[in-house]
Chains A and B, each alone.
Chain A
């Protein structure tokens, strides 16, 4: 009996490259084969294994919205072997992609609710997928608030989109940079995300919070949200652990009994509280 090769990636062509911040870029990827494009679908929150042949695979979320069909985007910071190689690639080059993998943000369950997005630094990409997804279905949600912070003004990613969101009357965008990270013409806030969140004090009534950020930001943000009245079931986040296979075989992303690649990456705070602290 022959089995499909679950490790064979799609071949993707780099259609567009956007410089987001120092060492951070976004690649827009198109399928090289029409049948792959037609077959392919994903939902907000899912991730993939992006590969440079000869260097290896690297795990990132899909940063574009499933409502924008025909391509996917990923945003990454040049850090290791694969991301360094990825950042050398040019428009027209071919890379590999396996996916989509993992759990999703239950967007349909959020219809009729207020949405509060909280992100820090390079963790905006997983949230950008959900933000565009909900903005493309704008009339199904009540208020949409986005709180986004980075270390410095230069480190803010998706600067054009931040501007677009800022100008939209149906989005309340609050941007902030860490103290000392501001420039002279900076018009946003200065301060850490949890503090800015506490000041903004958005209502928890009929609201879900979606939080993405470095572990330290997450750690200090959850208590603030709880103080604001958010229940652990209405706080969502997405976890990152080191992965290789993405399909629950290679054994390295587990946190206790759960596999981040299969049961995650999207978790509620309620679920996270049940997990051992191995992420």
Chain B
């Protein structure tokens, strides 16, 4: 069972500040005009909370749009290999959505099947995802149909759900999440601060100011009744408020705080139909208005295809891995001019088949988490959910 705790808004801000101070790279959603992007932040004040999902997904934490994978130096006629300048900086990604976190599993599958990709894995190993579940959704969200949901824990290390009055439910999903909770245990509490009100302690801060009273390592992981510090806090509270104790984290009905995302289609039906859809007319019909750009893929959290490009600066050279996409006509073109996927219909089919059929059959992953970014970004209103319903039939 996933372990739970509470964190208050002010403690959360404190945690983010301390994480940044600890030397970690903290990435959070930052707004600039109409775009909200994951940027390095030092404090919660920089973080935007008024968005459904960020404009571009947080996959850049693990798969930068451009990264060095080989470096060399030229000495006269000789080439010497050098160490790549591509370190994995310990990172915390804060404020991604459950759909984004789920996408990490899809990326992981691609970059670890058959051969481990060290550049991806070293970043994956050193990144902790603190996810915010969704209280709101919009008409482009379809996470439920792809197997996720507004409070899905998959891929997250910690999942926060906003309750009320600046209080968050914390779910400790993974070992990485547990390690972070242990390291910063003073910010978390097992006691509902509503009960503690009046003690002058804004839970986290109070605890932080009083390390002796803070939870011990692993304490947040346990239910309030068993946690030593929780017991202390709760017995304090009980002393103050009698026996009508406020709910423990485990008693919170998380679902009641989540957005209501409908299930647009049935994933199994979609897969079944795709098995027989390769030669169908649907691809040409759907892709007529597609303009053949890469906006959908580059905002997508699960698109993982890349190009490799060399660049030289003086006597130093670098081989770079950079994002690429099957939507662009150049992607598969041979030097001879022959192109296995010559038309946009073929490329659109590849995109859908790869996400919902090939990837599932091959790696047991669905290459889509229903975040809807592609549909929001598309200049031609290629609405992915609509196209999938078109194939699978409405649920």
Contact = CB atoms under 8 A, between A and B. Distances in A.
Interface in A242-256: 242, 244-245, 247-256
A5 B317 contact: no
A276 B311 CA distance: 36
B70 A54 contact: no
B305 A251 contact: yes
A223 interface: no
Contacts, number: 126
Interface string B61-100: 0000000011010100111010010000000000000000
A55 B310 contact: yes
Contact of B319 (A7, A254, A255): A7
Given A53-B310, A242-B333, A276-B278, A5 B118 contact: yes
B304 interface: yes
Contacts of A56: 308-310, 319
Interface in A204-247: 215, 240-242, 244-245, 247
Interface in A1-42: 1-9, 11
Contact of A11 (B79, B84, B319): B79
Given A245-B308, A252-B324, A9 B115 contact: no
A8 B81 contact: yes
**A interface: dominant SS:** loop
A184 interface: no
Interface in B334-356: 334-336, 338, 340-341, 346, 350, 353-354
Given A53-B79, A94-B79, A256-B358, A247 B114 contact: yes
Interface in B286-318: 304-312, 317
A185 interface: no
B69 A5 contact: yes
A279 to B, nearest CB: 5
A244 B332 CA distance: 10
A189 interface: no
Contacts of A7: 69-70, 119, 308, 319, 321
A11 B305 CA distance: 26
A126 B333 CA distance: 21
5 contacts: A7-B70, A53-B74, A244-B308, A250-B306, A256-B278
Q: Which 7 A-B pairs have the closest CB atoms?
A: A3-B118, A251-B305, A80-B335, A7-B69, A54-B312, A79-B335, A278-B340
